[in-house]
Structure 1
């Protein structure tokens, strides 16, 4: 795999974060402007409701980015699965057309596995443009963290460049804010001695990963 520089990757991830946060934060700003000039109690209540919704979305996205791209989860090698579940459920909550199913028995997962799972979930959720089902599973087996995320719906929208980035086949010159996260987890998997793969058709997208368990968690 040809890797982009840390500075370039950080820049692309920052661009993605700003792009994804622009809509809910902008809605908050617009709501404040409307509220300042509105005297009708019913309309003010609607403005406040929309602002509360935008605040929830903004908070959910920030928690997701912190765990998916940052150093969240404490100083240990593992992250509680409940924290991961809460972050993904919050991300999905505003999309009433998507149902999430979980299949994880472990109480904790290695940090690299968590980052891969979160980014897989984000990619899969984006693919469900008409809604559908998001299945998320993980288990620790034979010293590895095995992760599967499946999106199933009437239509799957999946950028081929994201697939190339997942497989490590996208040149740095072709990376964008849209593919940076996929490139990041591909690098993460390679550096840990693991691998990523995906399979898609018109109604399903399956993302899988096998990542060696960090030495600090073994035993």
Structure 2
């Protein structure tokens, strides 16, 4: 990837981060304005509750983006599986119609594998517009880390341009903040000698990755 492409990708990822944070941060700002004007004790208590909720959502999103998109400073080359698991569970905390089934055989994952797992989970959650089940698995097999995320539910929503970004067939002109994350993990996988794939049916979306262990992707 040349310098221009690197700059474009970074800009798109920043746009995605800003877009996802705009709502909870905006709610914080609005809540503070209401708090300054409100004198009723009950109303102030309600506003405080909303502020706490918005602050928690903002914090969870920042933690997610730190591992999903960023360098994740503070972590070693391997990340305890509890970290991405907690971040994914936080993403559906306000989505009671989505349940998760875990099949994580490895105690740790390398940072690139964590990025793939988190971004797969985000794509799958976005696909479950009417709720459903999220199956998330990762294991070592034949010297490689295999990751599978499956979303099962009615009316699966999936933008085919995201699929093209995942399998590497996306035209550069179609790179947007919506497809940037999928494009990023495709680069991570292909540069290590691995690959990504997906399959969408009427009631299911399956995302898969194979990442060679020799590239330091898992521990």
- TM-score normalised to the size of structure 2? 0.95
Runs of at least 5 residues in structure 1 that lack an aligned partner in the other structure:
none
SS at match of 1:21: helix
Can you list the C-alpha shifts for 1:159-210, whole angstroms capped at 9, x where unaligned?
0100111111111111100000000001111001001000111211000000
**Which residue of structure 1 lines up, in the alignment, with residue 80 of structure 2?**
80
User: Do the aligned residues in 1 keep the contact of 2:113 with 2:217 (CA within 8 Å)?
Assistant: no
| Match runs of 1:27-106 below 5 Å | 27-72=27-72, 74=74, 76-106=76-106
Runs of 4+ in 1 over 6 A off after TM superposition: 1-4
**Cα distance in structure 2, aligned partners of 1:76 and 1:48:** 37
User: Do the aligned residues in 1 keep the contact of 2:104 with 2:137 (CA within 8 Å)?
Assistant: yes
Q: Could you tell me how far 1:73 is from its partner in structure 2?
A: 6.0
Quick one: structure 1 residues 188 and 97, their matched pair in 2 at CA, closer, same or farther if it must change by over 3 Å? same
Worse overlay, 103-112 or 12-21: 103-112
Quick one: structure 1 residues 148 and 72, their matched pair in 2 at CA, closer, same or farther if it must change by over 3 Å? same
User: Do the aligned residues in 2 keep the contact of 1:143 with 1:218 (CA within 8 Å)?
Assistant: no
User: Do the aligned residues in 2 keep the contact of 1:31 with 1:47 (CA within 8 Å)?
Assistant: yes
Can you list the C-alpha shifts for 1:51-110, whole angstroms capped at 9, x where unaligned?
111111101100000000111164633111011111111111121111111110211012
**Cα distance in structure 2, aligned partners of 1:27 and 1:121:** 25
Quick one: structure 1 residues 149 and 30, their matched pair in 2 at CA, closer, same or farther if it must change by over 3 Å? same
Quick one: structure 1 residues 130 and 3, their matched pair in 2 at CA, closer, same or farther if it must change by over 3 Å? farther
User: Do the aligned residues in 2 keep the contact of 1:150 with 1:207 (CA within 8 Å)?
Assistant: yes
**Which residue of structure 2 lines up, in the alignment, with residue 160 of structure 1?**
160
**Cα distance in structure 2, aligned partners of 1:82 and 1:111:** 13
**Cα distance in structure 2, aligned partners of 1:216 and 1:100:** 28
**Which residue of structure 2 lines up, in the alignment, with residue 141 of structure 1?**
141
Runs of at least 5 residues in structure 2 that lack an aligned partner in the other structure:
none
Aligned-residue CA RMSD (Å)? 1.9
Aligned residues: 219
Q: Could you tell me how far 1:113 is from its partner in structure 2?
A: 1.0
Quick one: structure 1 residues 75 and 57, their matched pair in 2 at CA, closer, same or farther if it must change by over 3 Å? closer
SS at match of 1:210: strand
SS at match of 2:51: helix
User: Do the aligned residues in 2 keep the contact of 1:2 with 1:172 (CA within 8 Å)?
Assistant: no
Worse overlay, 105-114 or 146-155: 105-114
- TM-score normalised to the size of structure 1? 0.95
| Match runs of 1:114-153 below 5 Å | 114-153=114-153
**Cα distance in structure 2, aligned partners of 1:178 and 1:218:** 27
Can you list the C-alpha shifts for 1:21-46, whole angstroms capped at 9, x where unaligned?
00000001001111111111111111
User: Do the aligned residues in 2 keep the contact of 1:151 with 1:206 (CA within 8 Å)?
Assistant: yes
